[in-house]
Amino acid sequence: MRRAVFPGSFDPITLGHYDIIERGLTLFDEIIIAIGINADKKYMFSLEERKEFIEQSFKGESKIKVMTYKGLTVDFCKKQKANFILRGLRNPADFEFEKAIAHTNRKMSEIETVFLLTSSGKSYISSSIVRDVIRNGGDVTGLVPETVKVK
C-alpha cells in the first residue's frame, strides 16, 4: 500500500492544501493529513476546529485519514507505516525550504518526500495570508474550503 503523510499546521486548511491533497489521491492509496502540534506556536483556530475543518472537507473520501501528532514527522510516518511524505510547493522559496527538510528526513529514515506544484490559480494562497484576511474582517471565499468557519 502506498501511504503518504501530508503534514502541516493547517491553521486553517486552504484551497492550496486541498488542491495538493486531491491530486495526491491519484498517486497514493491513502493519505494521512497529519496536523502537527507545536506548543510554542500560537494558532488562530483550535486543534479541534482545524481537525473538523479538514474532516468535513474530505467527508466521504475513504482514502483520507485525519490525525494529529507531536514530534518528528518521520517518527509519525514510521508509526503509521507511511513510506512517503507529501508536500506542496508554491514558489522557489518553498522549494529551497522543503528541500532541506526532505534531505534531513531522508538522512534519518527511508521515507521519500514527494513534491507537487500547487495549481497556478492557487499558488498565492497561504494560511498566513488567510489568517491576515480573517483578522482584518476580509472575505476568505475562494481561499479556503467552505467547511472553514470564520470566528
- Which of the following is catalytic: 17, 50, 51, 122? 17
90 is catalytic: yes
> What superfamily would CATH give domain 3-135?
HUPs (3.40.50.620)
Residue 143 gets which letter from DSSP? T
127 is catalytic: yes
Per-residue pLDDT of the chain (151 residues; tens, 9 = 90+): 999 999 999 999 999 999 999 999 999 999 999 999 987 889 999 999 999 999 999 999 999 999 999 999 999 999 999 999 999 999 888 899 999 999 999 999 999 999 999 998 998 999 999 999 999 999 999 999 999 988 7
Give the separation between CA 126 and CA 78, rounded to whole angstroms: 28
- Rounded to two decimals, the pTM is 0.94
- Which of the following is catalytic: 65, 90, 99, 106? 90
